[in-house]
Amino acid sequence: MAKVNIKPIGDRVLVRHIEEKEQVRGGIIIPDSAKEKPQEAKVIALGTGKRDESGKVTPFEVKVGDRVLISKYGGTEVKIEEQKFTLVREDDILGVIT
């Protein structure tokens, strides 16, 4: 994968969805427009960090390369050089897959 030229700010995290392998059941192929957005993603880049009331930057609980579960409808989708990414707040990350 090519280097991504986007740097999230604040508590935002750039992720790339991990596509599930297409399964054909009974000879029926489900079109892309009818498929649900996958919830599993890989962390590509981290923002600058969230600040608490005293102005101190809180460290992220995830790191670049982590596989995570994200909220189904959270985040903003972006397309960079024909690849789809999503910018989500760290709060939209439900957990890290180990």
Residue 37 lies in a domain: no
- Determine the structural domain holding residue 58 and report its residue range: 1-19+44-98
Question: Looking at per-residue confidence, does 61 or 34 come out higher?
Answer: 61
Residue 91 lies in a domain: yes
Residue 1 lies in a domain: yes
Write the single-letter amino acid at 61.
E
Q: Is the pLDDT of residue 8 over 80?
A: yes
Q: Provide the pLDDT for residue 16.
A: 92
Q: Provide the pLDDT for residue 27.
A: 64
- The model's pTM is 0.77
N-to-C CA span, the chain: 22
Residues in the chain: 98
pLDDT tens readout for residues 36-93? 565 899 999 999 988 888 989 888 999 999 999 998 888 899 888 888 899 999 989 9
Q: What's the structural domain count of the chain?
A: 1
Main-chain dihedrals φ then ψ at residue 93, nearest 5 degrees = -85, 120
What is the distance of C-alpha 67 from the center of its chain? 9
Cβ-contact 46, 62 below 8 angstroms: yes
Cβ-contact 78, 7 below 8 angstroms: no
Residue 69 lies in a domain: yes
> Which of 74, 13, 84 lies closest to 49 in space, CA to CA?
13
Q: Provide the pLDDT for residue 74.
A: 81
Question: Looking at per-residue confidence, does 92 or 25 come out higher?
Answer: 92
Residue 73 lies in a domain: yes
